[in-house]
Amino acid sequence: MNKKFVWLIFIVMALLMAGCSGSDDGGSSANNNSGYDYTYGTLDFPALNNFGIVALSNTGSICILDGNTLKISEPLLNHEFGSYGGGLFDVAITPDGQTAMVSNFGDATVYFIDTSNPAVPHVKGSVQIDFFAEDIAVTPNGKYLLVTNGGFASRIAVVDIEGQTMIKSDAPKDTLYHNAVSVSPDGRTVLTADYFAGRVNVFTLSSYGKLTYRKTIDLVEGEADFEDPRPVNLEISPDGKTVIVASATAPLVFPILTIQGPGDVVLSDIVKQNNGLRGAQSVAFNREGTKAYLHCVTRFPDANNVSYDGNAIAELQKNFMGKWEVSQIIPVDFYGTSQLFGVDTLAINDTNGYLYVSNPTVSGGTPYVQVVDVNQGKVIKTLKTEDAEDDFYPPSDPDFMSIPTGITFWNKR
């Protein structure tokens, strides 16, 4: 069996484990793209103070996003992130904007990118992880990178970013699985999602990179009309108090946790929504923490009133009773119906509040990123990651398409 085929098997395993319902076939878009401004090309400025990065899974490269002009670069650093077919998934940037990291799932490796001039990034090293690296999260001080697995791994890797070395690759409790990871704004609380057991695991992180297990929060309720939560991702609010968990369930279910102090986390609510949404994959808060966004799967009618699977962004905010609920649903032009473990497919540009969206899976993926104006509740721009001359979805050969997955934004403070 060749190496590419082996890695593709593992990637398919990671996708299937996160579960999906429905078909991955493309359909007529809920948005009309004919008037959108497709932008593709080289960024021609010396430096950026408001930029993002998107990982291109199938082709092993990245694109740089210019948050000021809403432009995207051509695919960069091709063939510099390990073996073809390994699959680039998640991406993160240090708080100072100088270094970015991207995970290669099949190669079990994290790559470091010099973004001191983000218009001209270059790879500056890598670190091997002893499991398939998928989700990554940077501590607020920029010192450590936490890495979790896309399958059955009971370890969390803690990586020294400056030294590009792995400090530790285990967790104090080896019976837990870790399929997604998030770090609180004070850097002291670390949460991981266990998709298989329907739990969130709580740790504290010391100043020298030691993880200490605190507790496990069980999300399973056993209610007949709703599936028990299957967490695939989780995000902590900017004030470090609220956690929203994305769950691959139908109908939509999203648990809410409260952080009361370092390692002191409680389950506050499990919100159930019978609004046609299902299969949440990624979460992003606005800068104020007053709203959050869930990347979900839903059904849309096409021009012939035939339903098809598509993606939508559910805007969440608190109602008059202080409970989080869906306040609006924004259609986007993505069609994948499974979920990647922990990979962030939503990123907010804090400068203008625009929400950037990528694919929740490479299965049924499309070669572009979309920009959503959440105030207008619609897509305002589509940024191609591949220079196709004509209509490019659904893709004709997804194995060789530039499918964006993980996405992140850095804003100069």
Number of domains the chain contains: 1
Q: Which of these ranges, 82-86, 241-245, 401-405, has the smallest mean pLDDT?
A: 82-86
- At 95, list the tokens: 């708080």
In this predicted structure, what is the pLDDT of residue 392?
41
DSSP code per residue over 266-331: EEEEEEEE-SS-EEEEEEEE-TTSSEEEEEEEEEEE-TTS-EEEEEEEEEEEE-TTS-EEEEEEEE
Read off the pLDDT of each residue in 356-377 and give the average, rounded to a whole number: 94
Domain that holds residue 399: 3-411
Looking at the DSSP bridge assignments, the partners of residue 275 are none
Rounded distance, CA 78 to CA 410, Å? Answer: 22
d(CA 107, CA 88): 9
Higher pLDDT, 6 or 288: 288
Tally of CA atoms within 13 A in the half-sphere of 296 that contains its CB = 30
Compute the distance between CA of residue 218 and CA of residue 222 in angstroms, rounded to an integer: 11
More confident residue, 153 or 325: 325
Do residues 394 and 334 lie in contact, with contact meaning Cβ atoms separated by under 8 Å? no
- Count CB atoms within 10 A of the CB of residue 320: 5
Over the chain, what is the mean pLDDT?
85
- Mean pLDDT, residues 276-283 taken together: 94
Say how far apart CA 161 and CA 163 lie, in whole Å.
Answer: 6
- Fill in the DSSP letter of residue 76: B
Q: Is the pLDDT of residue 249 over 70?
A: yes
Residue 84's CATH number: 2.130.10.10
HSE of 23, CA atoms in CB hemisphere, 13 A: 8
C-alpha closest to that of 392 among 347, 335, 346 = 335
pLDDT tens, position by position, 121-139: 999 999 999 899 999 999 9
Q: Say if CB 374 and CB 357 are below 8 A apart.
A: no
Rounded Cα distance, 45 and 273, in Å: 45
Question: What span, in angstroms and rounded, lies between the C-alpha atoms of 233 and 249?
Answer: 12
For residue 132, with 0-12 CB atoms within 10 Å meaning exposed, 13-18 middle and 19 or more buried, which class applies?
buried
Given a cut of 90, whether residue 61 has pLDDT beyond it is yes
For residue 215, the tally of other CB atoms under 10 A from its CB is 14
Do 65 and 54 meet the contact criterion of CB atoms below 8 Å apart?
A: yes
* Average pLDDT of the segment spanning 366-383: 96
Q: How far apart are CA 309 and CA 301, in angstroms?
A: 9
Hey, CA dihedral for 312, 138, 265, 131, is it positive or negative? positive
For 119-130, the DSSP string reads: TS-EEEEEEE-S
Rounded CA separation 30/299 (Å): 10
CA-CA-CA-CA torsion for 67, 68, 69, 71, nearest 10 degrees? -20
**57-61, 98-102, 254-258, 365-369: the lowest-pLDDT one:** 57-61
pLDDT reported for residue 79: 86
Tell me the two tokens of residue 88.
């680039």
Q: State how far the Cα of 264 lies from the Cα of 279, in Å rounded to an integer.
A: 28
- Residue 255 CA to residue 274 CA, distance in Å, equals 15
Q: Select the more confidently predicted residue: 400 or 190.
A: 190
- pTM of the complete model: 0.88
Give the contacts of 208 (CB within 8 A, at least 6 positions apart). Answer: none
